[in-house]
Amino acid sequence: MCATPTASSDEAPALKVQGLSKRFNGAASPVWSDISFEVPHGQRLAIIGGNGAGKSTLLRCCMRLIDAEEGDIHFSGCCVSTLKGRALSKARSRVGFVFQKHNLVPRLSVLTNVLHGGMAHCNNPQLWYQGWASQRQREDALACLDQVGLAHLARQRTDELSGGQSQRVAIARALMQQPEMIFADEPVASLDPQAGEDVMQVFSDLAQHKGLTFVFVTHHLEHAVHYADRVIGLQAGKLALDEPASALDVQQLRSMYG
């Protein structure tokens, strides 16, 4: 159970995970147990590990999309482990989540899809469609698109985009939430190598220039070394690696997959 935080929100890390354990129903052993780490504001953190290590499960537990059996999660000093209903929704709105699948509405425009990100704070019917949105809302959505280099495609249907463009629209939609953190679950797994590099550079630039905390799951070890400040690794149900990315190379990280 969460204790009352002693640090102010400015002093507390963006994300604090303490003693987290997860077991799926009927499983003989936990996916992982006693996982603890902190992520300072503005840090880029990569999560690696072999298939079945529980990387995506950990990220979803941090977001409270699924619940861990034990442990606590804090966002900037605020415990979110026991929140429910509106309080939980409000806490989640502080985090933009980008999935492997882009989850865009194909028949709607790029701009409308980005506007949908604003629903994290308010389910306003104006945000359902660009023609209903206010001038300020459209300007905000265009500014988010500009940050990912796609403002010129605002009125194009999303089913006409390439995979890399679609993922950048998904990032812009997350930015429309005005998040403090962005979580990304294998965000380039379905993209070709060049599109993947472009998307990871967008994430990295947002973290470095806007001060966003960026936590991402990846199988691309080169991305973990190049686009993260720090790498943590899951192996055999434990946190087996926690090192600065600058102290690691791809060959060292391959040992996590042995």
Q: How far is CA 118 from the centre of its chain?
A: 16
Residue whose entry in the numeric block shows the structure tokens 């933009």: 96
Q: What is the pLDDT of residues 21-40, one digit of tens each?
A: 999 887 778 999 999 999 99
Q: What is the pLDDT of residues 109-153, one digit of tens each?
A: 999 999 888 765 566 656 555 665 778 888 889 999 999 999 999
99-125: burial string, b at 16+ Cβ within 10 Å, e else? bbebebeeebbbbbbbbbbbbbeeeee
What is the CATH code for 15-94+180-257? Answer: 3.40.50.300
Q: Nearest-CA neighbor of 79 among 62, 104, 102?
A: 62
Residue in 226, 227, 257, 224 with CA at minimum distance from that of residue 240? 257
What does the block give as tokens for 50? 């072999």
The model's pTM is: 0.89
Give the domain ranges of the chain.
15-94+180-257, 108-177
pLDDT of residue 134: 78
* Angle formed by the axes of helices 163-175 and 193-210, nearest 10°: 20
Q: State the pLDDT confidence band at 74, using cuts at 50, 70 and 90.
A: very high
Which segment of 74-83, 94-103, 187-196, 243-252 scores lowest on mean pLDDT?
A: 94-103
Q: What are the backbone angles phi and psi of residue 202, rounded to the nearest 5°?
A: -60, -50
Q: Tell me: the pLDDT tens digits for 166-205? A: 999 999 999 988 999 999 999 999 899 999 999 999 999 9
